[in-house]
Amino acid sequence: MPRTHQFLHPHREPAATRAAATVLLLRDTADGALEVLMTRRSAQASFAPGAYVFPGGGIDALDAASHAAADRRPTQTDTHLTQAIAAIRESFEELGILLARHAGDGRMADAADIAALDRHAPFVAQCQARGLRLAADGVFVLAHWTADRDLPKRFDVPFLVARMPDGQEPVADEAEQFEPVWVRPADALARHDAGQFFMIFPTIRTLERLARFADTNAVLAAVAGEAPLWTSCPRAGLRAGKESRHMEHEPEFGELAMVCPDGQIVHPLDWQSERPVPLRKNLQRLTAPNPGVMTGPGTNSYLVGDPATGYIAIDPGPADAEHLERLWRAAGGDIRMIVCTHSHPDHSPGAAPLQALCAQAGHPAPPILGLPSAPTARAASHFVPERSLQNGELLTLKGQAPEGEITHTLQVVHTPGHAANHVCLLLVEDALLFSGDHILNGSTTVIDPPDGNMADYLDSLDRLDALCAGHGVEFILPAHGYVLGDARGTIARLKAHRLAREAKVIAAMQALPGGTVEDWVRHAYDDVPPRLWPVAQRSLLAHVERIRALEPGNV
């Protein structure tokens, strides 16, 4: 288990969640465009005051006890039925919309039925007295949101969808909800961006995804499988000093989960090269000032250790004097080892000048560790460490702290693929994986033959997955980009992506057996901007090598 005493922030228990349900009522305009019903919350509301939202509210015990009063689909679970009943009740109480039908002939409720019901009296009992059954079979799950961990009032809420009944018009209760409005998702987002239509994060993200659908039928077809299209409990950090919220699929999410597991909004997300970014008490990241197409925001250098043990520098980066001095100062000059994950020019050239800087300041010169570049490496990637690392070797820092002896141990894992001499490093005590360029955040790494090898790369992914399983690793720290969460899921998705790309390469080779590499790239990487095709060619060649080795004569 990770050492919680190395976390930057003391544990803070997030507020408990309350079960709720909200419903997106949908209709199509005369020209076939999708619209959704929204309403403005009271400025005095305790949650999201003044925001435009979808109707909904808390689930109560009576909702769960009212299943017999509702029509349901055979595949609709009890939980989803309860949520649908709550959403139907709330849409009536807030907006006077009645998703119900007459038990005798199946007619949908009309204006006379709505006028006969009291919004402030028990809802289901009134419907039963009038011979109405709740049309829960027409309410589907679109998504599931759990409110951010930083919020004082949190809801666990499915976002449901249903078709707006014909002949009904929304009328706000003028207490909790005001100004019901039909709006196209894209228009709502544009008005929000213009500062005219305030919405909270889950509403915004839901509308962004809803905007991809052409009409109501397309939405209902997508949710027919009875599973949410997405599930999210967002996290927030700071960008330019302001809150910046992110979902699980976004690059920032894993880093926020690692640094602020309880939802504290304190972690800066701005990329900069001037200052170290603390990730744990025993872990700092400094990003070299070498951003670009191949390096993203820059090469990440990491410092593992503390003043009691000294530090190990991982990937000192290019020979940039200012970056190396910042790295040296962040370690208080006490760097005990310099480890290069591989020999590429944005990773290893800074090793020797960083070593010299340490020696000039009166500290012992730290050894430069790694694996020597193979004969297949390009000239710019030539690298010879002072000592070659062994697969499985342990690099250990020890020292005395007020709480006793403290240890930081890096386990070396040989991971050829991106480069023949590539290694990853596991911080054993804290279950953190430093992935170098083998796993990146925001892109897939380039496999460039002959030093790069696709078969080796995939085998190394399997090795890292086994390592993560054995040590309970949740977070991956790449050489480019933010920390990645869900380590094993990340590896699985990366391998699936590579194999899917390989299938497209095979299809391109079979469709164009006499084609050039340029022809195959146009077909196999048709989802990649053409400006990146020259880089993609290198990975395509690595796929071709693996394909021909596995299936000689077939392609």
d(CA 448, CA 42): 58
Does the pLDDT value for residue 258 go beyond 90? yes
Does the pLDDT value for residue 233 go beyond 90? yes
Amino acid identity of residue 223, one-letter, is: V
Alpha helices (H) in 211-350, listed in sequence order = 216-222, 253-259, 321-330
Which of 96, 102, 131, 129 is closest to 114 using CA atoms?
96
Q: What is the DSSP letter of 437?
A: T
Cis (ω within 30 of 0) for the bond into 450? yes
Quote the tokens at residue 75: 């595949």
3-state secondary structure string across 527-554: CCCHHHHHHHHHHHHHHHHHHHHHCCCC
Class of domain 280-485 (CATH, top level): alpha beta
The DSSP annotation for 48-103 comes to: STT-EE-SEEE--HHHHTTGGGB---TT--HHHHHHHHHHHHHHHHHH----EEET
- Give 44's pLDDT tier (boundaries 50, 70, 90): confident
d(CA 480, CA 435): 10
- Give 555's pLDDT tier (boundaries 50, 70, 90): low
Give 324-348 pLDDT, tens digit per residue: 999 999 999 999 999 999 999 999 9
Does the pLDDT value for residue 551 go beyond 80? no
Mean pLDDT calculated for residue range 388-396? 97
What pLDDT score was predicted for residue 553? 62
Quote the tokens at residue 168: 């009904």
How far CA 522 is from CA of 156, 453, 505, 516, in Å, comes to: 45, 22, 10, 10
- Give 179's pLDDT tier (boundaries 50, 70, 90): confident
The DSSP annotation for 172-191 comes to: --SSSEEEEEEE-HHHHHHH
Q: Do domains 17-233 and 280-485 have the same CATH topology?
A: no
Q: Select the CATH number that applies to the domain covering 17-233 from these four: 3.90.79.10, 3.40.50.300, 3.30.2020.10, 3.50.50.60.
A: 3.90.79.10
Domain boundaries, the chain: 17-233, 235-270, 280-485, 498-550
Give 426-472 pLDDT, tens digit per residue: 999 999 999 999 999 988 999 999 999 999 999 999 999 999 999 99
Give 79-136 pLDDT, tens digit per residue: 999 999 999 999 999 999 999 999 989 999 999 999 999 999 999 999 999 999 999 9
- Give 43's pLDDT tier (boundaries 50, 70, 90): confident
What pLDDT score was predicted for residue 554? 58
Mean pLDDT calculated for residue range 245-267? 97
Angle at 254 (CA atoms; ends 201, 225), nearest 5 degrees? 60
What pLDDT score was predicted for residue 402? 78
Beta bridge partners of 35: 27
Q: The tokens 């395509």 sit on which residue?
A: 540
Residue 192: other Cβ atoms inside 10 A: 17
Q: The tokens 């490496």 sit on which residue?
A: 377
Average per-residue pLDDT in the chain?
94
Which of 459, 446, 467 is closest to 542 using CA atoms?
446
Phi then psi dihedrals of residue 378, to 5 deg: -70, 160
Angle at 384 (CA atoms; ends 375, 292), nearest 5 degrees? 80
What pLDDT score was predicted for residue 121? 93
What pLDDT score was predicted for residue 24? 97
